């Protein structure tokens, strides 16, 4: 989604009163430094407030599965954590996006090097702030967010 689309979506949601509730994002603690820069940029551009909770991917996935505090967006560092939530049917698979490239696996001697693996973020199926979550997911792939991720040493797709 380009900058104009994000602003248009923000305007439509603001006019409809849909932005009253904060967007909740669960993200792996490895992304905290980058997201502390990205979230204010997103809020400034869209007007959507974001409540960011960072922790270990597996612990956050367990909280989602137990439905203690379901977020709107889940951004784990471990594919297994996202898979666990997906297997429970809690992720809208149409709203899952590759955001970063995972560190490469160690090559096995005598075999071709493994292809890249991606780190994905996803909107949860029952997201209370679905449109805001979609805008956030798209913003994670925007040039300003990509620049922040790169500055923090993350590989980009």
Tell me the domain boundaries of the chain.
3-101+117-151
Sheet holding 50-55, edge to edge: 50-55, 23-28, 73-75, 118-124, 91-101
What is the pLDDT at residue 10?
54
Residue 80 in tokens: 């297994």
What is the pLDDT at residue 20?
52
Burial of 127 (0-12, 13-18, 19+ CB in 10 A): buried
pTM of the model: 0.84
What is the pLDDT at residue 15?
46
- Please give the CATH superfamily to which domain 3-101+117-151 belongs: Periplasmic binding protein-like II (3.40.190.10)
Residue with tokens 């292809």: 115
Q: What are the CA-CA distances from residue 77 to residues 4, 24, 74, 157 (Å)?
A: 29, 17, 10, 15
| Alpha carbons 150 and 109: distance in angstroms, whole number | 30
Q: Are strands 73-75 and 50-55 parallel, antiparallel or unpaired?
A: unpaired
135 in Cβ contact with 10 (< 8 Å) = yes
Tens digit of pLDDT at every position of the chain (157 positions): 555 455 545 554 454 444 458 999 999 999 999 999 999 999 999 999 999 999 999 999 999 999 866 899 999 999 999 999 999 999 999 999 999 998 777 778 888 877 788 999 999 999 999 999 999 999 999 999 999 999 999 988 8
């Amino acid at each position: 989604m380009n900058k104009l689309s994000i602003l248009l979506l923000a305007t439509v949601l603001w006019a409809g009163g849909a932005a009253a509730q904060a967007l909740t994002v669960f993200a792996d603690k490895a992304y905290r430094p980058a997201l502390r820069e990205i979230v204010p940029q997103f809020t400034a551009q869209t007007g959507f407030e974001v409540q960011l909770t960072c922790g270990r991917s597996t612990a956050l996935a367990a909280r989602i599965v137990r439905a203690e505090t379901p977020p709107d967006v889940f951004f784990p560092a471990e594919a297994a954590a996202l898979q666990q939530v997906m297997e429970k049917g809690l992720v809208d698979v149409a709203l899952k996006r590759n955001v970063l490239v995972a560190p490469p696996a160690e090559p096995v001697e005598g075999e071709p090097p493994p292809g890249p693996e991606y780190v994905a973020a996803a909107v949860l199926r029952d997201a209370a702030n679905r449109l805001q979550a979609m805008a956030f997911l798209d913003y994670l792939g925007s040039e300003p967010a990509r620049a922040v991720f790169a500055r923090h040493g993350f590989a980009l797709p």
